[in-house]
Amino acid sequence: MDWDDLRVFLAVARTESLSAAGKRLKIDPATVGRRIARLEEATKARLFTKSPQGYALTEEGARLIPHAETAERAALGAEESLSGPGGLTGLIRLGAPDGCANYLLPQVLARICDANPGLEVQIVALPRVFNLSKREADMAIAVSRPEAGRLTVQKLTDYRLHLAASRDYLASAPPIRSPQDLVPHRIVGYIPDLIFDKELDYLAEIGIGPATLSSNSVSVQLNWLRHGAGVGVVHDFALPAAPNLTRILTGQVSLTRSFWLIRHESDTRLDRLNRFADQLTREARAEMARLETALRQDEKPRLTESPFRPDA
């Protein structure tokens, strides 16, 4: 059985499409189709059924998956052993929620790539859960720890969130000295039916809302707040990117969450991914500490300047 055919088989199984598999492997869809046909002839089994939704695994195809993945791990392991224990090389795709992807990962991954010139990293920034079994990413960052699946999970870092608004907005809006004072204010938050994880339902936990301005994107919410649209929950680590925002009610409203690094169980045998995960965890924690320390230092001169802070 040809490993190259198994590689194509895995790509089709994960993308459920000849064209998508071809893009991933950088070969044309017709070649993908021929490779699948050749593998089916070699195995004397039909591996996929075609439908309007795409290519779905047959029972025989599903039985072939673990064997193909074993061959994949062996091939990757062979590449690693030949490249030696030097710097990280090759491509790693990392899935992450857009707040983490926009305001934490860029500087973290830039430092990792500076230390590993042969490394290429892709960030897939989407507000949803990633399917690692379909290899949408090599690893993913999530806001809650998964309880099922063939996955390994490690805590990446804790982070904090507070209510915030622009100083221009606060200067012209009714005073905010308690959560009850938020009633006449315009609230910015998530679209309720697009909250993909209960850990993101901040407004319900705080007991305010509903949001007047809502988006499934953290970046959109942050930009609304930057432009004086209202009050919303903001990641502390994102505030350095929006210096005109100020935290409010910090003594009364404070949320703590965690980012979790999730990998497919079988990938823990790959030294390259293990080393990348270790570097990512170390750099993410250091960057989080740096950002939150900088935020506290920046706020010190302003602690007595705003009549809208309860601790003023």
pLDDT at residue 298 is higher than 80:
no
Of the pLDDT bands very low, low, confident and very high (cuts 50, 70, 90), residue 130 is: low
Q: For residue 247, is pLDDT > 80? A: yes
> Does position 312 have pLDDT exceeding 50, yes or no?
no
How far apart CA 244 and CA 182 sit, in angstroms, is 20
Average pLDDT, the chain: 87
Supply the pLDDT for residue 76.
Answer: 63
pLDDT score for 148: 76
pLDDT digit string, tens, across residues 41-58? 999 999 999 888 889 999
How high is the pLDDT of residue 293? 82
DSSP bridge partners of 123: 94
Asked if pLDDT for residue 259 goes beyond 60, the answer is yes
**161 membership: H or E segment, kind and range:** strand 151-166
Residue 131: the pLDDT is 65
Render pLDDT for 74-123 as a digit per residue (tens, 0 to 9). 776 665 554 545 678 888 999 999 999 999 999 999 999 999 999 999 99
Nearest to 70 by CA among 228, 237, 265: 265
pLDDT of residue 51: 84
Question: CA 38, CA 176: separation in Å to the nearest integer?
Answer: 69
Tokens of 113: 């790539």
Residue type, 256: T
Model confidence at 246: pLDDT above 70: yes
State what percent of residues in the chain have pLDDT above 70: 89
pLDDT digits (tens, 9 = 90+) for 20-43: 899 888 899 999 999 999 999 999
CB atoms within 10 A of CB 44: 7
Which of 91-100, 131-140, 232-241, 253-262 has the weakest average pLDDT?
A: 131-140
Q: Quick: pLDDT tens for 153-177.
A: 999 999 999 999 999 999 999 999 9
Contact call for residues 302 and 309 (beta carbons, < 8 A):
no
More confident residue, 147 or 303: 147
Average pLDDT over residues 203-222: 94
- Give the range among 67-71, 145-149, 272-276, 304-308 with minimum mean pLDDT: 304-308
Is 136 exposed, middle or buried, given 0-12, 13-18 or 19+ CB atoms closer than 10 A? middle
Instruction: Enter the tokens of residue 216.
Output: 């499934």
pLDDT of residue 128: 63
For residue 56, the cross-strand partners are 49
Percentage above 90 pLDDT, the chain: 62
In this prediction, residue 303 carries a pLDDT of: 43
